């Protein structure tokens, strides 16, 4: 039968366990499974992710399996006790006495210490995973711009009686425009369109295959399942055109997904898939007949949460890391008696447990930090002056402030309102993010593993703690623990003072008189200045631009905001959304290895001395910028019709940017901004 999997030469070697460099998603604790445990019905809950997970009873007792896969209560050493696990109403007096005397936290800690991570953390550099905001880092493609296509392979399980979901329905949930069925707020395509202000519009093409072997045999052997899925798809669809899925022309499919039929497949305490990785890591890439390589990938199930799982794992393929606690023993601890709360940013982030908000129908907006990482938002620098600062809602204005503590540490201030994707958040108001870059932790996917030092952290306004990782979930009552996090929030916290770096240095004296009279949030940096109103007035003109003809007419991207109550519109901060976006963003996404030399001509400059040493040159696909001044610089690229093509920021003295070759043969306008200074160049 066409589409069945067949082993090819060398495929059996893939049965070894997956090695390093997988990026997972947290399990949904609202899910329950019922198993027959040595003759008794037992309801279980799974917590954790693909790195490390635990199984417990509905009332919170850790259970582990013996060699026969029978569940027993774990003792304080994390080992099977003599008592088989039962539902609460079925327990004998002896079982109840054992559980009443059990130190549950000690049991969980012992199990964590004895259980190695299924995949070890990788500190190896990965393609497209270094952040553009790191001063010395080179930018790389994150397949995050333009109208791009990605193959999704649905895998039926013949031996398990698991059928694929309807392909038309799957395509609609992933790729339809303005999708609104089954309580969804939109499709995956709609989600990324909204996050990027129309800069990134993905389409997910569906391919159907089937697997004749039981899924259980692929737990720990997902490499084999993914490779067989690709081979079967290429056999069933011989006209597959790899060029349609290689947006940056690097010879690789930008990303692909494998979705196996049914809900999460579980056997004992183990489960199948639920992570993103690269096929190169375990030497299992597949090449198409026309020479395109399948490499970057993810594997998830087709259960009720497949849409939010896909958003989370696909975000990993574009470069984002997990923002929940992943590896350490801090992840499973209880913080009821601790000065800290459970690590991670919980319901506030789609890269944490927020992916399950609203019964997995309301994944939250990307934070300003995540949008900035993707190149979809440029921060407005928070100027230390006496003016009122106004924050409009992030979801509709794509605007946020930032202030640097040092070269690798900064704060981000954004306004989140309970609208559309953010309608499942715990509360509304200003979120304060404290970000710090550490290359080892970034590449090891361990940003929030230390409870005492979070690297992507929400600074909580109030004093209510998330006492355990499971309590951060919406489905576990997480809103009650997090509704005090925004400013002013449920506790009406109107100041944050002082604002300190992790080293204890003062970044700001504070944010004062924080006010949220409607959907805007306002504050001042001087406690003696009142905030009597809170109006956000976007600037629609570019009066400071001496050569506005090179930019879109509505663009105000050339104006660096002074962060007063008259704030600039950020609709042009990320690349132009609308019809202009679709054409201009495509232009920089096709690429070629052919190099060409270029010259640059300065056509306008404001406030930058002629001898400042600013230079812009283009060689082949690489745009090189020399800007020997301190602070963050912003580079914006336009075609000669004024269409915005790209926008990046950097903090070092030089920067190299791969613009692709879509604009080959035509001049480009490169605008370099530093503070309130700007200079335009034409490169050819």
Question: Taken in order 243, 248, 252, 254, is the CA torsion positive or negative?
Answer: negative
3 state SS of 625: strand
pLDDT above 70 coverage of the chain, percent: 77
pLDDT at 48 over 80: no
Residue-wise pLDDT for 446-460, tens only, equals 899 889 999 999 999
Residue-wise pLDDT for 582-624, tens only, equals 333 332 322 222 333 333 443 333 444 444 567 888 777 778 8
Residues 49-67 have a mean pLDDT of 78
State how far the Cα of 62 lies from the Cα of 42, in Å rounded to an integer.
13
Question: Binning pLDDT at 50, 70 and 90, where does residue 565 land?
Answer: very low
At residue 42, the pLDDT reads: 84
From residue 390, alpha-carbon distances to 52, 242, 366, 536, 538 in Å are 42, 47, 20, 6, 10
3 state SS of 385: coil
At residue 277, the pLDDT reads: 92
pLDDT at 275 over 80: yes
Beta-bridge partners for 65: 71
Question: Is the model's pTM score more than 0.85?
Answer: no
Closest CA to 154 of 219, 204, 214: 204
Question: Taken in order 335, 338, 344, 345, is the CA torsion positive or negative?
Answer: positive
At residue 116, the pLDDT reads: 60
At residue 307, the pLDDT reads: 98
Residues 487-502 have a mean pLDDT of 97
At residue 327, the pLDDT reads: 78
pLDDT above 90 coverage of the chain, percent: 50
Residue 543 is given by DSSP the state T
Residue-wise pLDDT for 119-163, tens only, equals 444 433 333 333 444 433 323 437 999 999 999 999 999 999 999
| pLDDT, greater one: 102 or 553 | 102
Q: What are phi and psi of 528, to 5 degrees?
A: -85, -5
Range in 108-117, 329-338, 543-552 with the lowest mean pLDDT: 543-552
Length of the chain: 684
Residue-wise pLDDT for 173-230, tens only, equals 999 999 999 999 999 999 999 999 999 999 999 999 999 999 999 998 898 999 999 9
Query: Which helix (DSSP H) or strand (DSSP E) does residue 442 occupy?
Result: helix 439-443
The average confidence (pLDDT) of the chain is 80
Range in 188-192, 567-571, 663-667 with the lowest mean pLDDT: 567-571
pLDDT at 104 over 50: yes
């Amino acid at each position: 039968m066409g589409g069945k999997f067949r082993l090819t030469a060398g495929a059996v070697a893939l049965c070894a366990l997956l090695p390093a460099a997988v990026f997972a998603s947290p399990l949904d604790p609202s899910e329950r499974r019922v198993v027959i445990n040595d003759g008794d019905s037992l309801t279980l809950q799974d917590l954790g992710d693909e790195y490390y997970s635990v199984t417990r009873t509905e009332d919170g007792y850790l259970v582990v399996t013996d060699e026969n896969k029978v569940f027993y209560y774990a003792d304080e050493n994390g080992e099977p006790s003599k008592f088989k696990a039962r539902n609460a109403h079925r327990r004998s007096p002896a079982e109840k006495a054992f559980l009443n005397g059990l130190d549950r936290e000690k049991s969980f800690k012992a199990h964590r210490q004895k259980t190695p991570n299924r995949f070890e953390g990788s500190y190896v550099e990965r393609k497209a995973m270094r952040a553009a905001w790191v001063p010395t880092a080179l930018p790389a493609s994150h397949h995050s711009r333009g109208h791009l296509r990605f193959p999704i392979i649905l895998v039926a399980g013949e031996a398990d009686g698991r059928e694929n979901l309807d392909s038309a329905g799957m395509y609609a949930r992933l790729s339809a425009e303005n999708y609104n069925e089954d309580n969804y707020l939109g499709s995956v395509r709609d989600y990324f369109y909204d996050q990027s202000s129309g800069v990134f519009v993905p389409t997910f093409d569906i391919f159907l295959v089937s697997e004749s072997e039981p899924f259980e045999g692929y737990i720990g052997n997902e490499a084999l399942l993914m490779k067989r899925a690709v081979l079967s798809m290429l056999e069933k669809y011989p006209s597959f055109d790899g060029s349609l899925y290689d947006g940056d022309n690097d010879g690789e499919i930008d990303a692909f997904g494998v979705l196996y039929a049914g809900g999460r497949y579980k056997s004992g305490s183990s489960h199948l898939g639920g992570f993103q990785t690269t096929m190169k890591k375990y030497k299992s890439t597949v090449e198409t007949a026309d020479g395109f390589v399948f490499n970057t990938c993810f594997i998830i199930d087709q259960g009720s949460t497949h849409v939010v799982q896909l958003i989370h794992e696909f975000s990993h393929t574009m470069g984002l890391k997990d923002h929940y606690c992943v590896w350490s023993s801090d992840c499973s601890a209880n913080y009821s008696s601790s000065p800290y709360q459970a690590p991670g940013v919980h319901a506030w982030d789609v890269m944490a447990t927020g992916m399950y908000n609203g019964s997995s129908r309301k994944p939250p907006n990307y934070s300003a930090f995540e949008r900035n990482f993707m190149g979809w938002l440029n921060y407005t620098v928070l100027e230390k002056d006496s003016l009122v600062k106004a924050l409009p809602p992030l979801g509709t204005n794509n605007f946020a402030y930032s202030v640097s503590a040092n070269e690798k540490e900064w704060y981000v201030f954004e306004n989140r309102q309970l609208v559309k994707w953010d309608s499942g958040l715990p509360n509304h108001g200003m979120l304060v993010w404290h970000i710090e870059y550490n290359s080892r932790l970034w590449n090891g996917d361990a940003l929030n593993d230390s409870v005492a030092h979070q690297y992507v952290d929400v600074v909580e306004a109030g004093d209510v703690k998330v006492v355990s990782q499971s309590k951060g979930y919406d489905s576990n009552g997480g809103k009650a623990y997090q509704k005090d996090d925004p400013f002013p929030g449920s506790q009406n916290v109107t100041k944050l003072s002082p604002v300190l770096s992790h080293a204890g240095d003062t970044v700001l004296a504070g944010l004062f008189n924080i006010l949220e009279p409607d959907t805007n949030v306002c504050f001042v940096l001087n406690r003696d200045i009142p905030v009597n109103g809170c109006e956000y007035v976007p600037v629609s003109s570019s009066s400071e631009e001496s050569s506005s003809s090179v930019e879109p007419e509505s663009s105000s991207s050339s104006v660096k905001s002074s962060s007063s109550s008259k704030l600039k519109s950020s609709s042009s901060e990320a690349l132009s959304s609308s019809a202009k976006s679709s054409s201009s963003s495509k232009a920089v996404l096709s690429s070629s290895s052919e190099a060409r030399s270029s010259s640059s001509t300065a056509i306008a400059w404001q406030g930058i001395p002629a001898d400042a040493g600013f230079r812009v040159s283009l060689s082949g696909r690489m745009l090189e910028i020399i800007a020997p001044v301190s602070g963050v610089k912003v580079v914006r690229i336009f075609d000669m019709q004024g269409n915005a093509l790209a926008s990046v920021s950097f903090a070092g003295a030089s920067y190299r940017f791969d613009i692709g070759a879509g604009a080959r043969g035509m001049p480009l306008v490169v605008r370099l901004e530093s503070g309130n200074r700007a200079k335009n160049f034409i490169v050819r």
